[in-house]
A and B are shown apart, each in its own frame.
Chain A
Amino acid sequence: MNRAGDISGLQRVVLNERSRLLRFLAARGMGEDAEDVLHDLWQRVAATPTQPIADPLSYLFRAAENLVRDRRRSTVSRERRHQDWHDASVGDEEEAQGERALIAREQLRQIQQALAALGPRVELVFRRCRLDGIGQAVIARELGVSLSSVEKDLQKAYRALAQLRAKFDAE
């Protein structure tokens, strides 16, 4: 089998760094599925159009992390669908939806309040980083603060959000 000739450069990196990637996937809780995820990764990079990639290994780790997150998300939403179906069969669907929207608005209000309480910059930094996908060094430059201030803002935001979510879960 002449594999070396017809696989992409990225696939070659997957082969070469197979054990490192598998170790990462195992540590990320993929257990028995680690090989499966690695196979998905292989398929995905095969489908990636050839373009120069700055740091192939980092690129692969990031892609692997995203695959893990996708898997978790689909498990969670599958569970949620079961739950919703169950809820809908006991309650009134429309009423449930209206209530969910109301809860979401209230949660959003409290998130904004919690972030605002941490200073004028924190929500902005969180948005730039998470919603706009901007690198932290760039955010630091935009705001005229150091990289570590941006990291500290994000830490404050993440901490506050964890507390808030724990509070909602307890309610």
Chain B
Amino acid sequence: MSAQHLEIEEAARLWAIRLQDPAFEDWDGFTEWLEQDPTRLAAYEAVLADTAWAEALLASAPAPVAAPAVDVQPRRRWWVGAGTAVAAAVAAVGGWAVLDRDAPAQQIATAPGEHRTIALADGSKLALNGDTRVTIDPDTPRHVVLEQGEARFEVRHDAGDPFVVMAGGTRLLDAGTVFNVVQDGDALEVAVAEGAVIYQPGPGEVRLAPGDTLKRPGRGADLVLGRVNPQAIGSWASGELHYDNASLEQVARDLTRSLGRPVRTADGAGKLPISGTLRLDGTPEEILARAGPFLGVRFVKNGEGWTMSPANGAPR
């Protein structure tokens, strides 16, 4: 088989893998790839046939008894992994807290720059970003109050016993699994990565699907609905920040929470939307050294924190 043919097969596999993902968007790119060479379609069809064949056979068999390292507690592994990655990044106390049922309601707070993961009795989990405060009553583990800050919820869904988050005096009802909530004073932001969340259940409720975002700039203010890549939502909890057409202000806010020190934007420091992934490992200086070229800015030390300036502008 020719090298060129192997190359086409590899590319066809990659397209098939990407297309399989519900978040796939590059349909025009796929069309163009197919158009460039008639053998590509056959290669792509062969991938579909191969994998459908395996899928059908695997579906007839029980799932494997997994190797302990991976499957016994895959979720737990993830949270521990994320916790350690972030702890390393910002030298924070990344901790596990498992709540007892008999304990009284407790308030759990993180310092700026600290990340913490909490396992609830029902199997749901929440990751707290820095400078965040939540109240949890172990008697009602499916009711969490986000007093301040940002949390990513991974909820065990139960239609008969919905999970409720109170934030900024508003009820958010989980109708799915993974979502991120930011509460800053009276401002509230909700973004859904998976499943669905109902904002203020009742008349005039708003149902948010994966990729939907809702912003309420202040109490009683009009709601602003938006769309982002679902993969980018709550990505801070995995030690990375994913962006898909985000503003520089948003990046500054996320860096502030993750580094535990203020990061501001300066006038003229780029209005272009940001897309890509920023890893959060290393010291704040290392993180910013990577972030600078990615964002097209320079970070200038400014008291406790940093200010973003245009990469090639005059120093301020």
Contacts and interface: CB of A to CB of B under 8 A. Distances in A.
B94 interface: no
A46 interface: no
Given A65-B19, A131-B58, A131-B59, A165 B231 contact: no
B28 interface: yes
A135 B59 contact: no
Contact of A158 (B21, B50, B69, B212): B50
Nearest to A108: B57
Interface string B5-24: 00001100110111111111
Given A55-B25, A162-B46, A120 B14 contact: no
Interface in A99-129: 104, 107-108, 111-112, 116, 120-121, 123-124, 126-127, 129
A55 B211 contact: yes
A134 to B, nearest CB: 9
Given A20-B28, A120-B67, A161-B50, A108 B22 contact: no
A23 interface: yes
Contacts of A137: 21, 23, 193, 230-231
B45 interface: yes
Interface string B178-213: 100000000000000110000000000001011110
A143 B63 contact: no
Q: Is the interface of A mostly helix, strand, loop or mixed?
A: helix
A142 B81 CA distance: 10
A140 B45 CA distance: 27
Interface in B67-92: 67, 69-71, 74-75, 77-82
B69 A120 contact: yes
Contacts of A144: 74, 77-82
Nearest to A107: B57
Nearest to B57: A108
A155 B47 CA distance: 11
**Chain B at the A interface: SS class:** helix
Contacts of A120: 66-67, 69-70
A138 interface: yes
A124 B19 contact: no
Given A69-B48, A162-B50, A147 B231 contact: yes
Interface in B197-254: 207, 209-212, 227, 230-231, 238, 240
B111 to A, nearest CB: 24
Given A24-B31, A130-B55, A144-B82, A108 B67 contact: no
Nearest to A116: B64
Interface residues of A, number: 52
B286 interface: no
Nearest to B44: A28
Given A28-B41, A55-B25, A129-B20, 13 more contacts: A23-B31, A27-B34, A54-B212, A62-B24, A108-B58, A135-B22, A136-B21, A137-B23, A151-B14, A159-B10, A161-B51, A162-B9, A164-B54
Interface of B: 9-10, 13-14, 16-25, 27-28, 30-32, 34-35, 41, 45-51, 53-55, 57-61, 63-64, 66-67, 69-71, 74-75, 77-82, 178, 193-194, 207, 209-212, 227, 230-231, 238, 240
Closest 8 CB pairs of A and B: A144-B81, A120-B67, A27-B34, A61-B27, A137-B231, A144-B78, A108-B57, A158-B13
Interface of A: 20, 23-24, 27-29, 52, 54-55, 57-58, 61-62, 65, 69, 72, 104, 107-108, 111-112, 116, 120-121, 123-124, 126-127, 129-131, 133, 135-138, 140-144, 146-147, 151, 154-155, 158-159, 161-162, 164-165
